[in-house]
Structure 1
Amino acid sequence: MIHIVTDSTAQLTEQEIQENQITIVPLEVSFEGQHYRDRVDISRAEFSRRLDTQADTVFPKTSQPSVGRFLEAYQAIIKPGDAIISIHIGSVLSGTAQAAQMAADQIQAPISVIDSGLTDRGLGFVVLKAAELVKTGLGIDDITTQLKAYLPQISLNCFVNSLDYLVKGGRANRAVGFISSLVKLKLQLVMADGKLEVAHKARGEKGMRKLLKQVVDQIVANPKVSRVGLSYVDSHADTDAIEATLKQARPDLEIVNELTSPTIMTHVGPRGLAIIYV
């Protein structure tokens, strides 16, 4: 049997997790020394609420799972003759994949660790693809090869309304954050080839709407796009509007519209959202 493991930044529905028997290893977040395992000790909704009410005075910290957590997860599911495909958040954002690899190196069983270079529903798409391939009866090496070929088909676009959280989380220079607050700078970030890069900058709400519309138009115009993920930090007004537009123009699309993970919330900040598609 080939087992699938991922981390809690993957955007997956409970039904998808159960139907595909996916093992989730949680990342951790902390407020004032209190540690919480994502999706275990704290829900995404609760974290979003606390981020909104407490982050001005107590900024949360996030941490990757320990090697020990991965060892526990692997040992709990592996049996003689089994194999594991462990797929994780891009290393540009977290050391999770490296921790997974260190744990895999300590277990005498075939374990393929994949740094997806993605997160959220982008990571979820890779996990679901792995589940599809496992059901075909392919071996772990062939599945790994096909998954790596699948990664470039996924487009992840993250829209940041304020650089304050990127600055607080150490992802942006403080001077840049100060300047952005003066000019109301908005960013469209993309994750491609394992990198996190600024694709476009805009000023104010009008500029942000233009960036969002460009991505929506690309999806509508491309018949090869089949799956779309919409993720948000707090307000789902924008993602609901995008979902309605997409459903009207492309009723064939499979769309998931959900809160993102605490790790991503912490760096993206209020009214942040993502549009991710295959």
Structure 2
Amino acid sequence: MSMKLIVDSGSDLPKDLLKKYDIDLASLIVHLNGEDYHDRESIDSQAVYEAMRQGSAPKTAQASPDTFYHLFKQYTDQDQPIIYLAFSSELSGTYQSAMIAKQQIEDQNPDAEIYVIDTRAASMGHGLIAYYTAQAIADGQAVQDVLDTAHYYVNHMVHVFTVDDLEYLQRGGRVSKAQAFVGGMLKIKPLLHVEDGKLVPLEKIRGSKKVIGRMVDLMKERGQHFEQQTIAITHGDDEQRAQQLANQIRELYNPKDIIIHQIGSAIGAHAGPGTIALFFLDDAPKN
């Protein structure tokens, strides 16, 4: 029996790809205006962005061990191997929740095959790892080959992103209040990336037009073989700028495909509206 692939809502994987590859989704929790919601189930990111523009400060919580226990068990009861690709453990406790559930099930059923991988990625960086892994499963690869494929993309995924307002990152503790204030006054747009699963400042750019150009330049500096790659761009309710970035990338690098998708509630609650994120590989896709 082929492996069952599971991701969480921190992957921002589009619904059509979830459906195409029969991928299950574990929802993170969004706290907004005194209510708890399940990301992509009982709330969508558009509602979160509108609330943030009105001054709300949503927070998020990891998916619970109980969520993973019931999700995993329905497949292990049928002796089906599971691979769960987790949102970076440096950004969420969701990976640890899955590990707790894995241990509970293995204590009851030592033959259960549950593979939990920390993608050290977020948004469609995480989503692209799942996308390539899903293709390996669909191709009928053996379990170990699928795991090797997943680890390859974990080790070669590049994230580059910018936010429209440093205040949102300040709320989440990613920058200081002073940095947010000065950045806002000077119209500085930070470029960040993900390093070992953590958000790390990369550069400061003055002006939103320049920051898109710099993201395109960073592709050339950090990646290669784009004609073989599927590139991903996610945005915080700013499809126009996402399309502008995509158009420049198509013109310069001619990638195999570009996926554009809105950032979900779990990540959008911290990054805020206006975020633009770019994801690509630093090498060719795995053969």
Find 2:68's aligned residue among 67, 70, 94. Answer: 70
Residue-by-residue CA offset, 1:121-171 (whole Å, 9 max, x unaligned):
111111122222223444433422332122222211111232100111222
* 1:243 counterpart = 2:274: no
Q: 1:118 touches 1:194 (CA, 8 Å); kept in 2?
A: yes
Match of 2:5 in 1: 4
Partner amino acid, structure 2, of 1:261: G
Provide the C-alpha distance between the structure 1 equivalents of 2:138 and 2:274, rounded to a whole number of angstroms.
38
Partner amino acid, structure 2, of 1:263: A
Report deviation, 1:197: 1.2
Percent identity of equivalent pairs: 25
SS at match of 2:104: coil
* 1:258 counterpart = 2:256: no
* 1:268 counterpart = 2:271: yes
Provide the C-alpha distance between the structure 2 equivalents of 1:59 and 1:177, rounded to a whole number of angstroms.
16
Question: TM-score, normalization: structure 2?
Answer: 0.87
Greater CA drift, 224-233 or 91-100: 224-233
Match of 2:79 in 1: 81
Provide the C-alpha distance between the structure 1 equivalents of 2:32 and 2:137, rounded to a whole number of angstroms.
39
1:1-278 to 2 correspondence within 5 Å? Answer: 1=1, 2-53=3-54, 56=55, 58-107=56-105, 108=109, 109-215=112-218, 222-223=225-226, 226-278=229-281
Question: TM-score, normalization: structure 1?
Answer: 0.90
Report deviation, 1:205: 3.0
SS at match of 1:105: helix
Greater CA drift, 19-28 or 247-256: 247-256
Provide the C-alpha distance between the structure 1 equivalents of 2:135 and 2:5, rounded to a whole number of angstroms.
11
Q: 1:247 touches 1:253 (CA, 8 Å); kept in 2?
A: no
SS at match of 2:258: strand
Cα pair distance change 1:265/1:203, threshold 3 Å: same
* Equivalent pairs, count: 275
Cα pair distance change 1:253/1:145, threshold 3 Å: closer
Report deviation, 1:100: 0.7
CA RMSD, Structure 1 to Structure 2 (Å): 2.2
Report deviation, 1:217: 5.2
Report deviation, 1:221: 7.0
Unaligned runs of 5+ in 1: none
Provide the C-alpha distance between the structure 2 equivalents of 1:137 and 1:206, rounded to a whole number of angstroms.
44
Report deviation, 1:216: 5.5
Cα pair distance change 1:181/1:13, threshold 3 Å: closer
Cα pair distance change 1:258/1:78, threshold 3 Å: same
